[in-house]
Structure 1
Amino acid sequence: MANPWAGEVRLVLDGVACDCKLTLGALAELEAELKGETVLDLIERFESGKFSTRDVLALIVAGLRGGGWSGRAADLLSAEIEGGLLEATRVAAQLLARAFSTGET
């Protein structure tokens, strides 16, 4: 079970539950994938609702990698995400929120 206090979010990929997390290494890989943009640019797009499916995919890959997955973005082209694009978008947004949350109320 994903631990939200540790920044984890559950994603069901091809029928297998995966715990995703944006670790420092996963964030570094994500920024490299963003080609000159920063994670803050990505956050701004999510906050304004101007994110792309490429953004969602990049976050899902980074979260999976942070959770221990050794795949690549190309591996997800034929994968089935339970809940489809809507669930993938929710997971991507949750990953960002949990990675940058202070845990304070």
Structure 2
Amino acid sequence: MNRLPRTVTLTANGARGEVAAMLAGAERRLCLTLGALAEMETGLGVAGMAALAERLRALSAGDLTVVLAALLRGGGEHELAGALATAPIDPRAAAEAVARAFEATA
């Protein structure tokens, strides 16, 4: 049973660096946390912030999935983060959401 879509409207906490994005048919929260950064480093196979920044400059679809999952978990969206491989997500919306999450903490 697919439980990903929901109708609840979320409020992103901008002070915490959260952003809201419409993904998989519902508004989702993404947040760049220290844990999300660590998850990205591990998932992308890089060590350190400089290597991560370099890798983020040219993401493959697989890389985008790793980064999006980490940001979703940072925002408390664990269910969607674990189901990205089969979730109906527009790649452009995913890329824009990732960019906004990084901009929110700049």
Is the pair's TM-score, using the shorter chain for normalization, greater than 0.5? yes
Q: Which runs of 5+ in 1 are unaligned?
A: none
Secondary structure of residue in 2 paired with 1:11: strand
Q: Calculate the aligned-residue CA RMSD, in Å.
A: 2.3
**What's the secondary structure of 1:33's corresponding residue?**
helix
Kindly state the Cα deviation for residue 45 of structure 1 after the two structures are TM-superposed.
4.3
> What is the aligned partner in structure 1 of residue 12 from structure 2?
2
Select the structure with the greater relative contact order (CA < 8 A; seq sep ≥ 6).
1
Match of 2:53 in 1: 43
One-letter code aligned to 1:62: A
How many residues are treated as equivalent by the alignment? 96
Query: 1:60 deviation in Å?
Result: 0.8
1:92 aligned to 95, 98, 104, which one? Answer: 98
Deviations 1:7-54 (A, max 9, x none): 21222232221111011112112211122344433433444xx22122
Structure 2 unaligned regions, length at least 5: 1-10
Equivalent position SS for 1:68: coil
Pair 51,2 (structure 1): closer, same or farther in 2 beyond 3 Å = same
State the TM-score, normalized to the length of structure 2. 0.71
By how many angstroms is 1:4 displaced?
3.7
Q: Normalising by the residue count of structure 1, what TM-score does the alignment of the two structures yield?
A: 0.72
Identity, in percent, stands at 35
